Amino acid sequence: MDVDYLMEEIPKAIEQSLDGVTRVATLVRAMKDFAHPEAKEKAAADINQALRSTLIVARNELKYVADVETELGNVSPVVCNIGELNQVFLNLLVNAAHAIAEAKKLTGEKGLIRVRTWTEEEAVLISISDTGCGIAENIREKVFNPFFTTKAIGRGTGQGLAIARSIVVEMHGGTLTFESEVGKGTTFYVRLPLDAGAKAGKEKHS
């Protein structure tokens, strides 16, 4: 009886172990792609792959409060520092999750985060939308200010969006904007010139 039991259970145990190893390997690869410790200079990078890796890294922050939908277009590589941009994407995704978590306290419903990419006039655009609580109109001009935050003490430093804007605008010559509706949600837009390094350099010396 023990032999029959083992013959039945061992394949299941091996399958579960292999599935676990695959999950760990996927996470490790995503973390390596996300960190890019060797990427000190700007180089052509796949924005879609960067977003996929960042979503894997952020999965534990997102999965309990929101479902995630992606609509990643056929976009050209962008000359950029992808490690820095990954930090921007992570910040926007975590902010989206926090906004949905606040809304969930009132509705009890799981939210939705939608990530899109597309090409427009020699630039790649990335949008990250949430169905959170939205940003009140009277504070919208302050959201990119250093140390400004609406989060509870210990939950946010107020530096995330300020640093994100610096990375996108000053380092890559792009733009970081948003649209928001209270009670409906917020969408952040990142616009990156295809040759972000050259664009940033021209603006810096103009």
Task: Tell me whether residue 195 is in a domain.
Answer: yes
pLDDT at 127: 98
Burial 175-205 (b: 16+ CB within 10 A, else e): ebebebeeeebbbbbbbbbbbbbebbeeeee
pLDDT at 16: 65
Task: Tell me whether residue 4 is in a domain.
Answer: no
| Residue 173: domain span | 36-205
pLDDT at 27: 46
Task: Tell me whether residue 60 is in a domain.
Answer: yes
Task: Tell me whether residue 116 is in a domain.
Answer: yes
pLDDT at 146: 75
Mean pLDDT by 10 residues, the chain (206 residues): 68 64 50 54 91 90 94 94 91 93 88 96 95 90 75 56 92 95 95 74 50
pLDDT at 186: 96
Task: Tell me whether residue 16 is in a domain.
Answer: no
Q: How many domains does the chain have?
A: 1
pLDDT at 152: 53
Task: Tell me whether residue 86 is in a domain.
Answer: yes
CA distance 58 to 93: 8
Question: What is the CATH number for 142?
Answer: 3.30.565.10
Query: Would the pTM count as exceeding 0.85?
Result: no
Per the CB < 8 A criterion, the answer to whether 194 and 123 are in contact is: yes
